[in-house]
Structure 1
Amino acid sequence: MDELLDRYGPERIWAATVAILVAGITAAALLFPQRVYVDLIWQYYWGPVVADAHGWSCITWAGGEQVHCQNAPADAGPTASPGYTFVSYAGYIPTLLLLLIGISFLLDRLELERYRAGFYGLFPFMLFGGALRVVEDTNVAAYRETGELALGLPWVGVLISPLIYFTVFFIALLALVTSVWLDRNNYVSGYEYPLFGIGTGLLAITLAYLGYRAATEPYATFHPALLATILVGATVTTVITWLAINQFAPDINSGTRFMGVIVIWAHAIDGVANVAGLDWATVFGLPANLVPKHPINEAIVTYTGVVLPESVTSVTGTAWPFLLVKLVAAVVVVTLFNDEIFEESPQFAYLLMIAVVAVGLGPGTRDMLRATFGV
């Protein structure tokens, strides 16, 4: 193995591995379409995406017609549902690991040194990812209202989890490479400025699209008071949490510094958006409260309703523990990222920081904008 690494280098071996896997899976799907494509790729990977795009809980292959399970004959073939399975995880996790290895090689090639600047430059992309997911939620609302997808398949598939993560990643990667090129050629004074600008521009375009749908279509609406409440609530919660940290345990933020504020705010957005959307959306003019889109949210809401009496939940709602969970998790993360981690492995530490913020801000932005646009 060492001889192989010395002879070809880790980057070439990684590229060859990816190429062999892609070629092998493609060849197997062409040679054995039923066994490989229908029974494996479609059932566990593409079928759930198609079901999610239509807002269906179940979809069946039906000879390639891909129809709702209720409308399919008994011998329609395999079925699929939105979400993940052990089989899909078995494919996505190795893919993610290969992707992370490739990112590491790319960062080495780019020879980035100012990782903290890159963290701030990538911040709008985390908002953009959540907003882009709401475009697909609007697509589902359009299908329910009109029977037609505003954005058709397969293109809308890249806006659905987990494919949307790859979509946003490659867009951010292209923006990063472009920004570094501008910096190295002295067009800008730092790569973080065009990177932040590109992300902000993409976010603005996405929000403009959602606003256009809300202004012109009956299946989407606009509730600015709800948006303002979530932003203010998350910001106030973050300030209180950060002041408490500085007062009682200032060493917690010695490593992350201001990045810690962003971590807490990102998860506060997710928490407050869930509380507002799941329990109080009707107060802001929506016809009904939203329903949880993630298993953790759903479990917390369910167990809160079981543990607390109705006389309490009718006043407090059932989603508020999710906000506490998100805040505690964010503070724990800030605590773990001390000075030593950033000094020993800065590249790895900043990648993890970006992932931590994205995990909170991506779903949080989606939940906030789902409630804001009533989809």
Structure 2
Amino acid sequence: MPDPISDFIYTYFLKTMCYQYNVVNTVVYGLILIAAVFGTHKLLEKLKIKIDRKLFYAIIPFILFGGSARALRDHTEINTVFQNVPQLFCSPIIYFVIFAIALGSLLLGIAAQRKFKIEYWKVMCSAGLLILAYNIANFRIANWAAVAMIAGLFAFWIVLFFGFSYFRPKMLSMMNAGILSSHLLDASSTFTALTFFGYQEQHVLPTFLIDLAGGPAAGAWIMFPLKIFVVGGVLLLLDKYGEDEQFKNFLKLIILILGLALGTRDFLTVSMMQV
């Protein structure tokens, strides 16, 4: 007799893991993310880690490592360690793997700070750069046209956001400009991959909106206003109504992670595509 619970888990989670999102697993992963956000914030409070630029600097190498590991895992033409354990380096499991690695590096940094008076974030950042170097050494660009298109689009958004921040810092801080730019890297990569190279969007909401706008080849432009208005709107709301500065900065860190990890993965994936 079929087990309905096992069938449900297989159909909506195990069968689609690494390759496809649906409404059910998207909602569940979202709830897990919310729980993880609050749990991680409590952990940082317990460890007495201030959520500031130094923590951002320490985390960025791990974000880049996660995004590039995901891309290398999918690119079977390049033999890397990620092909040996493929299930550990696909979404959503990769987020837990990178979290564990980053947390271990954070604890190592805290220990070094207490014993040797070296600031924790320098140790953590160095550890992240060390493992990121492995990915960089294995990365091979094959699609220079995609690189040029994405780089041009990304440069445009960087100049726009940071230029606006320079002249209107009260409306857009430099931190917010950087976070927005990370999400526009994702939008630029998605737009280029779908419009010119036949890729398909995996996430539920972007897929729905892209289909409404005309489908992958014609409607991927919708990612730009989607990112600007949704991410920009959330950042504005946090700045306006966020009372706890530390928790507000932590939420911004989460938003950065979501944008930069996906942007890195998408950019490298299409860059390594054989054309």
TM beyond 0.5: yes
Change (3 A) 1:340 1:227: same
Match of 1:123 among 24, 35, 60: 60
2:15 is the alignment partner of 1:47:
yes
Question: Match of 1:194, as an amino acid?
Answer: V
Q: Is the contact between residue 115 and residue 346 of structure 1 (CA under 8 Å) also seen in structure 2?
A: no
1:294 to 187, 203, 207: 203
Cα distance change of structure 1 residues 90 and 371 upon mapping to structure 2, 3 Å threshold = closer
Question: Does 2:136 align with 1:235?
Answer: no
Aligned pairs, number: 271
Aligned with 2:71 (options 128, 134, 150):
134
User: For residue 329 of structure 1, what is the amino acid of its counterpart?
Assistant: V
Return the index of the structure with the highest Cα Rg. Answer: 1
Shift in alpha-carbon separation, 1:372–1:43, aligned structure 2, 3 A: same
Tell me which of 236, 255, 262 is aligned to 1:363.
262
- Asked if the contact 2:66/2:94 (under 8 Å) is kept, the reply is yes
CA–CA separation in structure 2 for the residues paired with 1:108 and 1:348: 10
Equivalences for residues 39-118 of structure 1 within 5 A:
39-49=7-17, 52=19, 82-86=20-24, 88=25, 92=29, 95-113=32-50, 115-118=52-55
RMSD: 3.2
**One-letter amino acid of the counterpart of residue 369, structure 1:** L
* Change in 2 beyond 3 A, CA 1:346/1:186: farther
Would you say the 8 A contact 1:136–1:159 is kept in 2? yes
When structure 1 is superposed on structure 2, of 156-165 and 328-337 the one drifting more is: 328-337
| CA–CA distance in structure 2, aligned partners of residues 238 and 327 of structure 1 | 13
Change (3 A) 1:226 1:328: same
The answer for the alignment partner of 2:107 in structure 1 is 177
Q: Which residue in 2 is equivalent to 1:209?
A: 138
Q: Which amino acid aligns with 1:162?
A: P
Q: Report how far residue 265 of structure 1 moved.
A: 1.2
CA distance, structure 1, for counterparts of residue 150 and residue 220 of structure 2: 14
From 243, 248, 252, the equivalent of 2:171 is 252
2:254 maps to a residue whose letter is: A
Report the alpha carbon displacement of residue 251 of structure 1 after superposing the two structures with TM.
Answer: 1.8
Higher RCO (Cα < 8 Å, 6 or more apart)? 2
Deviation at 1:301, TM superposition (A): 3.2
**CA deviation vs aligned residue, 1:199-219 (integer Å, no higher than 9, x gap):** 2222221233343xxxxxxxx
Q: TM-score, normalised by structure 1?
A: 0.62
Unaligned runs of 5+ residues in structure 1 are 1-33, 53-81, 143-149, 212-220, 281-287, 307-312
Q: Does 1:354 align with 2:265?
A: no
Superposed displacement of residue 273, structure 1: 0.9
**How far apart are residue 187 of structure 1 and its match?**
5.0
Identical-pair percentage: 23
> 1:151 is matched with which residue: 63, 80, 83?
83
Measure the CA separation in 1 of the matches of 2:28 and 2:200.
29
Deviation for aligned residue 1:133: 1.5
